[in-house]
Each structure stands twice: as structure tokens, then as C-alpha cells.
Chains A and B, each alone.
Chain A
Amino acid sequence: SQQGEEDPQALSIQEGENATMNCSYKTSINNLQWYRQNSGRGLVHLILIRSNEREKHSGRLRVTLDTSKKSSSLLITASRAADTASYFCATVTYNDYKLSFGAGTTVTVRA
């Protein structure tokens, strides 16, 4: 069964706005990762946050992790048309190396 669940399923924003999506998971994790998938392409790793970290930044991306609530959020600031894609969270549990993916959030950035 899938560990993570993203919310919302779809998001449409204007270029320049911020996009926020959330991920909830069920069991304790070693790390949580976010991936992007452009239409018809493979997944590309965006950012990894470990269970002992609360926030991480990478360029226009900001990820938070709340292990007490078993949830994470991905914020994309100042969105661009090129950010149009599906975003997936994936978790890795302790003593494991397999990713468990959520169903993803589809983000559309309007020009």
C-alpha cells in the first residue's frame, strides 16, 4: 500500500504565485523525498529531508517536515511556467531503502 498521500490532487496558479502542496504518511520514516515528473517523462529528484530535520531549502523550493503529525509540505516560490508538472512525495522507512510514493499533486502554472 502507498505510504504517502498528497494534497491537493491538483493545483492551478498564476505565474509568480507560490504553490504549496502537502504530504501525509502513516509510519515512522528515515527520510522523505520530493520528486517532479514532467508530462511523459521520468521522475527527477528535487529534495530530501531526513527525520531529524524540520526544514530544508533548495533554490525556490522549501520543504518542511513535522514528524509528530507525520506530514511534510513543499513550497515552490515565484512559480514559473516550467514548474508545471506532477509532484510526488516518497518516504523511506528505517532499515529500508525502498521508496513508497504518494499519488502526486498536479501543478499547472498559468502564464
Chain B
Amino acid sequence: NAGVTQTPKFRVLKTGQSMTLLCAQDMNHEYMYWYRQDPGMGLRLIHYSVGEGTTAKGEVPDGYNVSRLKKQNFLLGLESAAPSQTSVYFCASSRDSDIQYFGAGTRLSVL
């Protein structure tokens, strides 16, 4: 079982460039989440989804968009990257309000 897989693992962007982070889960979970983690801070929720075709804003959604076209995939997009978006991004999935399963993270640097 792969669990939650994030691609890519590392990425360097220039200011203004765009990119998409992919999250895939093989546990048939309804709920999926995107977080960012900055030094000395816990995880902050960017966007989440409660099922295929649905998305909702989290705590820090500005500058990001998401899509959940297939139940197993949750995409996070940055249309015009900014240095403030330099962070480690984590995807997670869950069956309900209990345990969340996390991917290994994507380290993004925006220069």
C-alpha cells in the first residue's frame, strides 16, 4: 500500500511561475487536505475536499487553487508563485474526522 503519495518531492520556482502539486491516495478516502508548514509553526490548512468534485477554502487559501476531479487525486496549483509561498507542502487524506494520513511532503522554494 502506497498510502498518500505526493509529487514532486522538491521544486524550485522563479517568482511568477506556475506549478501544480499532485497528491494521490489509494485508501478510498473521501476527505483530502492540503497544508503548508513553515519553520517553527504547525501545519496550516490551505484547501480541502470532502469528496470527488468538491473543494473548500481552509485557513490560508490565497494564492492557491485546487481541484478534485477524481476521488483518489487532489491537485494544488500555484498560478503565480511568490517568495511567501516558499514552504513545505503536505497532503493528507482521511475517511472521516478521525485519523489523517500524510504524504512525505513537497519542499518548494520560490526565488
Q: CA A54 – CA B98 in complex, angstroms?
A: 17
Tell me, in angstroms, the Cα distance from A2 to B98 when the chains sit together: 18
A81 proximal to B (CB < 8 A): no
Query: Are B48 and A98 interface neighbours, CB within 8 A?
Result: yes
**A15-65: which residues lie under 8 A (CB-CB) from chain B?**
30-31, 33, 35, 40-45, 48
CB pair B97 A92 closer than 8 Å: yes
Instruction: Give every chain A residue within 8 A of B50 (Cβ-Cβ).
Output: 97
List the A side residues contacting B102 at CB < 8 Å.
35, 42-44
A-B contacts counted at CB < 8 A amount to: 57
Query: Hey, what's the 0/1 contact readout for B78-111 against A, CB within 8 Å counting as 1?
Result: 0000000000001010101111111111000000
Size of interface on A: residues with Cβ below 8 Å to B: 26
B97 touches A102 (CB 8 A): no
Please state if A97 and B105 are interface contacts (CB–CB under 8 Å).
no
Known: A97-B94, A98-B58. A45 touches B43 (CB 8 A): no
A31 and B105 in contact (CB under 8 A), knowing A88-B42, A98-B58? Answer: no
Q: Are A43 and B45 in contact (CB under 8 A)?
A: no
Q: Known A41-B104, A42-B104; judge A96-B43 contact (CB<8 A).
A: no
Q: What is the interface of chain A, defined by CB distance below 8 A to chain B?
A: 1-2, 4, 30-31, 33, 35, 40-45, 48, 88, 90, 92, 96-104
Interface bin, chain B: 20 to 34
Given contacts A33-B98, A92-B97, 6 further A-B contacts (CB under 8 A): A35-B102, A40-B105, A42-B104, A43-B90, A97-B50, A103-B40
Is B41 in contact with A103, judged by CB distance below 8 angstroms? yes
Return the 3 tightest CB-CB contacts between A and B, nearest first: A101-B42, A97-B97, A42-B102
Q: Does B31 contact A (CB under 8 A)?
A: yes
CA distance A18 to B42 in the complex (A): 24
Question: Given known contacts A2-B42, A102-B42, A103-B41, is B104 in contact with A97 (CB within 8 Å)?
Answer: no
Known: A2-B42, A98-B48, A103-B40. A42 touches B97 (CB 8 A): no
Residues of A within 8 A of B97 (CB): 30-31, 92, 96-97
